[in-house]
Structure 1
Amino acid sequence: MTRTSAPDARLPLRLLATSDVHVHLLNYDYYADRPADDMGLSLTATLIAEARQESRNSLLFDNGDFLQGNPLGDYIVHSGAMRAGHVHPAIRAMNRLGYDAATLGNHEFNYGLDQLLDSLQGAEFPIVSANVLRRLGATPAQDETLLPPHVLLERELRDDAGQIHRLKIAVIGFAPPQILQWDRMLLQGRIETRGILETAEALVPQLRAAGADLVVALSHSGIGAMDRDSWAENATTALATVPGIDAIIAGHSHRVFPAPTFEEIEGVDPMAGTIFGKPVVMPGFNGSHLGVIDLDLRQDAQGRWQVAAAKAAARAVQGAGIQPSAAVERAVCLEHDATVAFARRTVGETMIPLHSYFALVNPAAALRVVAEAQVRHVRKQLQGRPEAALPLLSAASPFKAGGRGGPRNFVDIPAGPMALRHVADLYIFPNTIAALRLTGAELADWLENSMGIYRQIQPGLADQPLIDPEFPSYNHDRILGLTFDIDLASPARYDRFGVLRDPAAQRVHNLRHNGQPLDPAAEFILATNSYRAAGCGGYTAARPERIVDVGRAPIRDILLGFVRDTAPVALWQGGSFGFLPMPGTSVQFETGRDALPYLDEIAHFTPEPLCPTDDGFLSFRLHL
């Protein structure tokens, strides 16, 4: 709708976006207890202000995962602030910045549905989600959604000639439908989900019919290969094919787009920032980037607004030479100060350093302390029950092992006093304890799935990349109580999504329990977490009928109790796994910048330094 029109009027509209902020509201690393220059909404806010000044018309969106992800988010939950009726500091900061709309990500559900709904109170902007449902209808149009599925924003925008036009901009939001699996123990029976593509194809035409001049999709979903499966996790590529969508904000996978790393995906132009011709931006994570999409709008002969041209970019906070926003700092200062004080409380002591710099190639005490804590808790829960007679094992994953989190995404706890922030660093997710009754054969297959993180290595070649960067380290399990060797020359049995691709492939050899070959028919209890017990990561043995009830205590609380009760922590650091020798063969392994003091832990690989990577990782040649 236009109040006044001018011939050949050009109307510029800038879309600004954040995604996966994960409660990093300030440029502060609570785990390391120090300021950071590469993250934080307080820094992104300065970029937002600059971007707004550059354009006469702009809208600001958030693409989800803003309520969970660091000790500040955990403090808000455990302090009971939401029950007291306070506005969540993330919402307060977003109110200050004048967000126009937002959607939910998968991590919004990690604390449960009630906590989520309480946390959204006080938002001065609409929060939309089209495929998270209270009731699943026969069609998307008949679904009863948890939140409004979309919103029609009416904004007065000024064209280049100074004329004012009133436009209707529809904003629709999508979350990964897999939240029902990832947080099954919290959400089962309370909500339903529908596939992103199916929902969009049904609802976007309705938005156009309702008079929308533009449709913006907030897609908390990654950019992957074209997949029209309505239940695809990374559905943004397929979403771009839906007629009627003009621009997409992507996220979830903690990546940056436009970027050349996406150049091999069908329909993706990684330099222009388009997917099947539509502008798309993915603004990193933790407030690392601001997404910017510039639309050049023009009216056709019928007076309808069309996107004549578009350009997308992701602006990084690091290296921008900017100061944090005082408005955001004021909005969250009380909770920030309380979180810092809480996280600094001493809770125990460790006699050895706990780090994850080499956790993907060497047994790591940082993983073992988690696994030991889980064993202690589950053993207590099983006392007096038949399951107590079964051998007890424990699975743990290196959550912080570099990857997309960057060269500082590692655990690094020095020997000495342990604070609450160290416990949080060892276990960054709000998972709860779980246990499964599994056979030896299922455990062997479990480890085969986990070994998919390694690339297949060709004997006799030098400097082959060892780690598949697309395999999430949180899906790479180690099992306390089992020893084994890894054959890197063998292909992986499972791909990075946990999908069986080569049933005959075998990387795990010499699998033993208590020094004896693992009996495929023997039964065990495996201590694990709620995420894995729901089958996440493709671990198909984790079925509901295999779950053994051991309560739902948060693993971080279990770990805290273990650290307090066993101080000083002094764990055996002997090997639980190793790589089968491959003479004349070497691999390239990347780790964090502060790994050098611990290099002796991998002396058996005869490590040789290589040139650091462009994104700041140290790189080593390891001899197999």
Structure 2
Amino acid sequence: MTQSNKYTYDILLTSDLHGAIRPVHYPTNAYSHTGLALLGALIRRMRERAPELLLVDNGDLLQGEPLAAYAAASQDNDKTHPFIEVLNELGYDAAVIGNHEFNYGPDMLTRAVQASNFPWLSANIVDAQSGEPAFGPPYIMKQTACGVKVALLGATTHYIPNWEKPQHIKGLRFLDALETIRTWVQHIRDKEQPDVVIVSYHGGFENDLATEQPAEPLTGENQAYAICREVAGIDVLLTGHQHRSLAEELHGVTIVQTGCNGSSAAHVAVQLEQQPDGQWQITSKQAELLYPEASDLPDTAVMVLTEELERHTQAWLDQPIGEIIGDLSIQSAAGLRLAAHPFMAFVHQVQMEATGAQLSNAALLSKESRGFGNKVTTRDVLANFIYPNTLTVLELSGQDIRDALEQTACYFSLDDQGEIRVNPSYMEPKAQHYNYDMWAGIDYELDISRPEGSRVVKLIREGEPLRMDSLYSVVMNSYRAAGGGNYSMFAGKPVLYTGDTDMALLAENYIRTHQPLDVPHTDNWKVTAG
């Protein structure tokens, strides 16, 4: 928008869509007033008002919803990925590589990038040999009709090698995002002399925005706070990865984050005024989150482009897998985390049979997990195993196991009435239920009335106290095996097994081969308050 010597530059962001294109809640098949098809209506309204709008996706597009899983499993090498067709249709100017873009392997990601009518940016993911950005230019330049010059730089959390299968990132190096952004912003300022510098970073904030104190272990996974504080020359920082909803100012930098699954888009309006020497100067910036209006209908073109994919996905989701004897339903995720539960016993059985490990730990990854009824379909499995996690077996000492249990016990605290609750530190800056592990192959008890670090009051294997100096094989997901979630006692331990099949498929195969499936009740652990 322009008025004589004043101009407003509009930026619109989507992020962490995770395959949420159509307005469907796939576990129940109910309508959901979210997703890119609904945001498409919002995008088109914004573009009518601001034809020079900069439209950016900040990553984690290709993995997530069953629609994404089916698109990956059935991808025709000769066809453009349906999600890329959608972004092309909506006229995206750029996208940033997210960590989940790698989940289905390099071939699918390469085809997606090549089919896009826009560049994919990530300055800090480089070719291991050349050192050049691996997916395209590190930044793009835009110039408006009135002469305002805008730079957009992309970067991605460099923590990806701690999660991703090595074969999916072969030939790539992940440079420190903070240092890479610092270098490129200075380069852009010196060479391009832009009026507005925007950084789109698939990463989040490591510090609490109100107190400025560290909010998580400083692993480097999230560096957005340091980027705002330490890198000079950034006007707007577009963030993601943490699935938070943010629109504010931090150290003079306008910041936004859009939540996830197409719940909202973020809009930043940058007001500029032309100076007597002809240069444009920023006078103010406003950020807001935009949600689909109640009256909005899904964008017709987006729905048409994904109609065939949706039809095949629904048929796939309704395929029967097997029958369950007993009750593997989850009535309360909070209750499941307080004592041994049949559904988690099932998860442990899958993990231990797949790997032959002596012990198993696992978390309930989805807040929407409802377990299984008597008849199980593909939809049920994918509703409970929402990430393409693979398994790793580590060799751990009894002391490592005790230390891990003490760490997992930090998930709880006591309220003013002495009742067990989730530790507030696990709810901010985002909910971290996925960092609470439950174990099989040992008997244990956690007493939350005791100080952190001394809450394991029972730890037994096969009727005897677990020996601190003995070694055990323990299966867990690859994120945890790398020490993710502040489980530093796992990092660097001997690896006995690495799998390449994700948990959803392992669970499906387990059910099919154990028909009818009868998971016996276990009571090997519990959490108490004294």
Task: Using structure 1 for the length normalisation, give the TM-score.
Answer: 0.77
The 8 Å contact of residues 400 and 490 in structure 2, kept in 1 or not, is answered as no
Q: 1:375 to 1:14 in 2, by over 3 A?
A: same
Cα distance in 1 for partners of 2:422, 2:497 equals 41
Residue 135 of structure 2 corresponds to residue 147 of structure 1: yes
Q: 1:217 to 1:227 in 2, by over 3 A?
A: farther
Residue 250 of structure 2 corresponds to residue 275 of structure 1: yes
State the match for 1:201 in structure 2: 182
Q: Secondary structure at the match of 1:274?
A: strand
The 8 Å contact of residues 227 and 235 in structure 1, kept in 2 or not, is answered as no
Amino acid at match of 1:135: A
Q: Spell out, residue by residue over 1:12-67, the C-alpha distance to the aligned partner (whole angstroms, 9 max, x if none).
A: 11111100000111111222233212x21111112222333344542111111101
Q: Which residue of 306, 331, 351 maps to 1:374? A: 351
1:37-436, aligned counterparts within 5 Å? 37=33, 39-55=34-50, 57-81=52-76, 84-135=77-128, 143-157=131-145, 165-183=146-164, 185-187=166-168, 190-208=171-189, 209-225=191-207, 232-241=220-229, 242-258=231-247, 273-317=248-292, 320-351=294-325, 352-355=327-330, 357=333, 358-379=335-356, 392-401=358-367, 410-436=368-394
Q: 1:550 to 1:192 in 2, by over 3 A?
A: closer
Q: 1:233 to 1:554 in 2, by over 3 A?
A: closer
CA apart distance, 1:131: 0.8
Q: 1:282 to 1:556 in 2, by over 3 A?
A: same
Residue 501 of structure 2 corresponds to residue 561 of structure 1: no
Q: Secondary structure at the match of 1:298?
A: strand
The 8 Å contact of residues 445 and 526 in structure 2, kept in 1 or not, is answered as yes
Q: Secondary structure at the match of 2:265?
A: strand
The 8 Å contact of residues 349 and 568 in structure 1, kept in 2 or not, is answered as yes
Q: 1:464 to 1:446 in 2, by over 3 A?
A: closer
Q: Which residue of 428, 443, 459 maps to 2:401? A: 443
Q: 1:189 to 1:42 in 2, by over 3 A?
A: closer
The 8 Å contact of residues 196 and 230 in structure 1, kept in 2 or not, is answered as no
The 8 Å contact of residues 270 and 284 in structure 2, kept in 1 or not, is answered as yes
Cα distance in 1 for partners of 2:490, 2:246 equals 34
Cα distance in 2 for partners of 1:441, 1:462 equals 29
CA apart distance, 1:86: 1.4
Q: Secondary structure at the match of 1:573?
A: coil
Residue 50 of structure 2 corresponds to residue 30 of structure 1: no
CA apart distance, 1:123: 0.2
* Fraction of identical pairs, as percent: 27
1:462-501, aligned counterparts within 5 Å? 466=423, 468-470=426-428, 472-492=432-452
Q: Spell out, residue by residue over 1:465-518, the C-alpha distance to the aligned partner (whole angstroms, 9 max, x if none).
A: 6563136222221111222111212343xxxxxxxxxxxx22222111123221
1:565-576, aligned counterparts within 5 Å? 565-576=513-524
Cα distance in 1 for partners of 2:354, 2:522 equals 23
Cα distance in 2 for partners of 1:104, 1:553 equals 23
CA apart distance, 1:136: 7.7
Q: 1:461 to 1:315 in 2, by over 3 A?
A: same
Cα distance in 2 for partners of 1:172, 1:484 equals 49
Cα distance in 2 for partners of 1:365, 1:312 equals 46
Cα distance in 1 for partners of 2:50, 2:526 equals 56
1:523-562, aligned counterparts within 5 Å? 523-543=471-491, 546-549=494-497, 551-562=499-510
Cα distance in 2 for partners of 1:377, 1:428 equals 19
State the match for 1:386 in structure 2: none
The 8 Å contact of residues 194 and 231 in structure 1, kept in 2 or not, is answered as no
The 8 Å contact of residues 62 and 100 in structure 2, kept in 1 or not, is answered as yes
The 8 Å contact of residues 227 and 237 in structure 1, kept in 2 or not, is answered as no
Cα distance in 2 for partners of 1:540, 1:463 equals 25
Amino acid at match of 1:302: D
CA apart distance, 1:565: 1.5
Q: Spell out, residue by residue over 1:242-294, the C-alpha distance to the aligned partner (whole angstroms, 9 max, x if none).
A: 22222111111001012xxxxxxxxxxxxxx1111222111110000010111
- Please list every run of 5 or more consecutive structure 2 residues that lacks an aligned counterpart in the other structure: none
Q: 1:58 to 1:437 in 2, by over 3 A?
A: same
Cα distance in 1 for partners of 2:150, 2:529 equals 60
CA apart distance, 1:230: 9.7
Amino acid at match of 1:251: G
Amino acid at match of 1:295: V
CA apart distance, 1:460: 5.2
Amino acid at match of 1:72: L
The 8 Å contact of residues 256 and 284 in structure 1, kept in 2 or not, is answered as yes
Q: 1:239 to 1:430 in 2, by over 3 A?
A: same
Q: 1:297 to 1:56 in 2, by over 3 A?
A: farther
Q: 1:539 to 1:230 in 2, by over 3 A?
A: closer
Cα distance in 2 for partners of 1:218, 1:292 equals 13
Cα distance in 2 for partners of 1:527, 1:87 equals 37
Q: 1:156 to 1:460 in 2, by over 3 A?
A: closer
State the match for 2:10 in structure 1: 14
CA apart distance, 1:362: 3.2
The 8 Å contact of residues 227 and 238 in structure 1, kept in 2 or not, is answered as no
Larger mean Cα displacement after TM superposition, 410-419 or 57-66: 410-419
Cα distance in 1 for partners of 2:236, 2:23 equals 29
The 8 Å contact of residues 181 and 534 in structure 1, kept in 2 or not, is answered as yes
Q: Secondary structure at the match of 1:310?
A: strand
Q: 1:514 to 1:316 in 2, by over 3 A?
A: farther
Amino acid at match of 1:446: A
Cα distance in 1 for partners of 2:420, 2:512 equals 43
The 8 Å contact of residues 459 and 489 in structure 1, kept in 2 or not, is answered as no
Amino acid at match of 1:31: P
Amino acid at match of 1:475: N
Cα distance in 1 for partners of 2:353, 2:365 equals 21
Cα distance in 1 for partners of 2:282, 2:254 equals 10
Q: Secondary structure at the match of 1:75?
A: helix
Cα distance in 1 for partners of 2:421, 2:320 equals 43
Residue 495 of structure 2 corresponds to residue 513 of structure 1: no
**Count of aligned pairs:** 515
The 8 Å contact of residues 174 and 219 in structure 1, kept in 2 or not, is answered as yes
Amino acid at match of 2:241: H
Please provide the CA RMSD for this pair: 2.5
The 8 Å contact of residues 95 and 124 in structure 1, kept in 2 or not, is answered as yes
Q: 1:238 to 1:565 in 2, by over 3 A?
A: same
The 8 Å contact of residues 423 and 556 in structure 1, kept in 2 or not, is answered as yes
Task: Using structure 2 for the length normalisation, give the TM-score.
Answer: 0.90
